[in-house]
Structure 1
Amino acid sequence: MNIQTILTNYSSFEEKTLTNRFFKHADITPLIDQLPATFSIRTLGNSVKGRSISAVKWGNGETKVMLWSQMHGDEATGTMALFDLFNFLKLDNETVKLLHKNCQLLMIPMVNPDGAAMFTRRNAQQIDINRDFIQTASPEGKILKQSRADFEPVFGFNLHDQTTLWSVDETLKPATLSYLAPAYDKALSVDHTRENAMLVIADMFKELDLLLPQHIGLFDDEYEPRAFGDNFQKAGTSTILIEAGGYLNDPEKQQIRKYYFASILSGLISIASKSYEKQNTANYFNIPQNNKQIFHILIHNLVLDGIQVSVGINYDECPNIDGMSTYKSYSIQDIGDLSFCDAYEVYDAQHCELKGSIKFNKAADFELLKEGQIILAFKEGSLTV
């Protein structure tokens, strides 16, 4: 059963109670408690605010694989994909049997439940958990670090979200997914542990590129000495980073989660079947690099100060105080020749009238009219039309 066939039945195992990125600890706890006896549940500890952090164990195989999500509270796609995976693993098919026989999975959804409560990156101590490996000042960091030490996984899946402004080199398309075998030193050395992560990713890319052509990139592998992925790689766990980026008309990442799930499952199949051993690292390095050649909004052929320019506009997504939604603050990020760029929304300002002013690095505050009709408008950074 290949990934494409599995995804044709995705609706049958998609976790339908998770419909946007703003679910909380209280939403996922019942889902964990309701898992059947084939899953073993253990509370690993509590967050700063006393919310439980649970581990879900499944499978009887020899190869240990650890998967963890939502170290950053506002990066929820990996958690959604893990709950889809839980439902898939309840099924009776050859893929599930392969995984059960050959792998033992330890899955930790929502490492940062306090951050998820407010939909913020950091925990309740204002610490970025993924920069806390060395000091481990956060209880969540301690839990994650100890879990790897106790379980001793051969492979690890580090599940994150990235900004929607990453694009895939030479495609001008959003990097909907990005993969990486994190570096374990400044020299970006490749030992057997990191090589195995690269080989699994090469298998994943081969499968997912058929489903998401030109939408998958290789994330920047700059060494970060405080990060968990880099240090788990150093400790001997072949670590695979998956990042969820942007996809047109999918703000809540409900399409992306399907491909995210497929990435995880593809990686697990590669590990369980050992197909990665037949891969070549050249296929990993041939994955296109991430870059930033897209904007959220791009306006071409706009006359400013007597010259024709393009204007690139991006937004910062900021959580509302209830942690249940966000608001977007738009600003002017570039002015000039942007002919080499693209955007989620593109406007042609030829024969248009501009009301207001456009200032670099300032909040968007203008109206663009065509034949007297407003086609795009901002007020002090807020999109109004």
Structure 2
Amino acid sequence: MIKSVFDTYETVKEKRLKDRFFKHNTIVDLVNQLPADFEIKELGQSVKGKSINLVKYGNGFTKIMLWSQMHGDEATGTMALFDLFNFLQSNHPLAQLISEKCQLFILPMVNPDGAEVFTRRNSQQIDINRDFLKEVSPEAKVLKQCRAAIKPDFGFNLHDQVTLWSVTGTLKPATLSFLAPAFDEELNINETRKNAMLVIADMFSDLDQLLPKHIGLFDDEFEPRAFGDNFQKAGTSTILIEAGGYTNDYEKQEIRKHYFIAILSGLFSIATKSYSQQDLKNYFVIPKNNKQIFHVLIHGIVLDGIEVSIGINYEECPSSNGCSTFKTYSIQDIGDLSFCDAYQNYSSPSLSLNGNITLYQPANFELLDGDKTILSFENGNLLFKKD
């Protein structure tokens, strides 16, 4: 059933969300256009007075809360939620099943001020996902009070992770990562956390067929200030989904498709209670995340009389209007990188460099293959890349 939705995804994709840089007003417009089956309620406001809205859907017994964009520059989950809204309005049997078996409580944008300028933190420079205990941000108060009022059985905590996470044993980007967050430092497993793990095992079974070798298990170190860990502790079986990287998908439109399917797979597992038939060992066989990839990897370059590989990564920063980003490239490793991979690899016996290579400094060189330039940087800026 999940595969049929994947194959017809374009029919439910919310086409008004074309990249990661949409703002609060766009989200509000889309929410206000939802039909009467969706109940809309303003729960509170951000520091700068932007509404934080809850969308309720379904008449079933099982309560499921989904929240996205606690970090303003992590927009993939939000796009996937609006794809979900469209899907729920379809006549697909799974949409009907979710409506009958579940009540969905969805906060599509928890940090509208951060989204406005495309930054992680809110306008107080607070990381909302490290503010569960102190509640100094109004956004954290809204989210915490929402869960306390609803007391959901399950929660979906929707985030993006840096694109340099890879999947152990594959040397491929961790395009999606899952986690049932810990509720204590000992990483114990109670019934609440176990149910989250079993749902994730179902999700992995579905998604690994569609996105093989690109799905990892995120680190489960306990973070006492985080919402996912504390919601798990409070009795809501919490499922973390992180969107990572995928080759040539800078605006995460392909990742968004798989993200939506991951959410839908989890909802199907909960609605049918198929997770109760799942084996816990299938959660622990999901490969772990690691960091064995670079954005750019150049092999076989002679520096100071020795042959080395050069690993280059970029830092992505928002433009002043929050509607785009710029990338600054720097040298992050030099030496034997044969155990690594990259989004872009360069390897040829005729490669040579013009310029300086200094570890942890901005990329500032020209890469030639024979007498032709194939890649060049100036003070960390990408000037040219041969397609």
Compute the TM-score of the two structures, normalised by the length of structure 2.
0.99
Which residue is 1:168 aligned to?
167
CA distance in 1, matches of 2:93, 2:115: 35
CA distance in 2, matches of 1:371, 1:181: 50
Q: Can you list the C-alpha shifts for 1:280-320, whole angstroms capped at 9, x where unaligned?
A: 11000000000000000000000000000000000000001
User: Is residue 162–residue 244 contact of structure 2 (8 Å, CA) maintained in 1?
Assistant: yes
- Give, in angstroms, the shift of residue 96 of structure 1: 1.1
SS in structure 1 at match of 2:253: coil
| Pairing 1:85-100 to 2, within 5 Å after superposition | 85-100=84-99
User: Is residue 60–residue 101 contact of structure 2 (8 Å, CA) maintained in 1?
Assistant: yes
- Give, in angstroms, the shift of residue 371 of structure 1: 2.5
Matched, 1:372 2:374: no
CA distance in 2, matches of 1:200, 1:370: 49
Q: Can you list the C-alpha shifts for 1:145-167, whole angstroms capped at 9, x where unaligned?
A: 00000010000000000000000
User: Is residue 301–residue 352 contact of structure 2 (8 Å, CA) maintained in 1?
Assistant: no
Q: Can you list the C-alpha shifts for 1:128-176, whole angstroms capped at 9, x where unaligned?
A: 0000000010000000000000010000000000000000001000000
Could you tell me which runs of 5 or more consecutive residues in structure 2 were left unpaired when the two chains were aligned: none
CA distance in 1, matches of 2:177, 2:102: 24
Which residue is 1:248 aligned to?
247
SS in structure 2 at match of 1:194: helix
User: Is residue 197–residue 240 contact of structure 1 (8 Å, CA) maintained in 2?
Assistant: yes
SS in structure 1 at match of 2:339: coil
How much is the aligned-residue C-alpha RMSD, in angstroms? 0.6
Q: Can you list the C-alpha shifts for 1:28-52, whole angstroms capped at 9, x where unaligned?
A: 1111001001000000010001000
- Give, in angstroms, the shift of residue 223 of structure 1: 0.5
User: Is residue 47–residue 113 contact of structure 1 (8 Å, CA) maintained in 2?
Assistant: yes
Task: Name the amino acid aligned to 1:188.
Answer: L
Could you tell me which runs of 5 or more consecutive residues in structure 1 were left unpaired when the two chains were aligned: none
Which residue is 2:307 aligned to?
308
Q: Which moved more, 1:365-374 or 1:216-225?
A: 365-374
Which residue is 2:196 aligned to?
197
CA distance in 2, matches of 1:9, 1:315: 35
Which residue is 2:292 aligned to?
293
- Give, in angstroms, the shift of residue 350 of structure 1: 2.6
- Give, in angstroms, the shift of residue 92 of structure 1: 1.6
Compute the TM-score of the two structures, normalised by the length of structure 1.
0.99
User: Is residue 299–residue 349 contact of structure 1 (8 Å, CA) maintained in 2?
Assistant: no
CA distance in 2, matches of 1:178, 1:86: 23
- Give, in angstroms, the shift of residue 370 of structure 1: 2.1
Matched, 1:49 2:71: no
Matched, 1:327 2:337: no
SS in structure 1 at match of 2:221: coil
Which residue is 2:228 aligned to?
229
User: Is residue 154–residue 238 contact of structure 1 (8 Å, CA) maintained in 2?
Assistant: yes
- Give, in angstroms, the shift of residue 70 of structure 1: 0.2
CA distance in 2, matches of 1:79, 1:199: 24
| Pairing 1:124-143 to 2, within 5 Å after superposition | 124-143=123-142
Q: Percent identity?
A: 66
Task: Name the amino acid aligned to 2:231.
Answer: F
CA distance in 1, matches of 2:153, 2:126: 28
Which residue is 1:283 aligned to?
282
SS in structure 2 at match of 1:185: coil
Which residue is 1:69 aligned to?
68
Task: Name the amino acid aligned to 1:24.
Answer: K
- Give, in angstroms, the shift of residue 354 of structure 1: 1.3
Task: Name the amino acid aligned to 2:139.
Answer: E
Which residue is 1:6 aligned to?
5
User: Is residue 65–residue 154 contact of structure 1 (8 Å, CA) maintained in 2?
Assistant: yes
CA distance in 2, matches of 1:368, 1:211: 36
Which residue is 1:218 aligned to?
217
- Give, in angstroms, the shift of residue 372 of structure 1: 1.9
- Give, in angstroms, the shift of residue 349 of structure 1: 5.0
Q: Can you list the C-alpha shifts for 1:363-384, whole angstroms capped at 9, x where unaligned?
A: 1111111222111111000111
- Give, in angstroms, the shift of residue 351 of structure 1: 2.1
User: Is residue 302–residue 349 contact of structure 1 (8 Å, CA) maintained in 2?
Assistant: no
Moved beyond 3 Å, runs of 4+: none
User: Is residue 131–residue 137 contact of structure 2 (8 Å, CA) maintained in 1?
Assistant: yes
User: Is residue 164–residue 293 contact of structure 2 (8 Å, CA) maintained in 1?
Assistant: yes
- Give, in angstroms, the shift of residue 340 of structure 1: 0.3
Which residue is 2:104 aligned to?
105
- Give, in angstroms, the shift of residue 259 of structure 1: 0.3
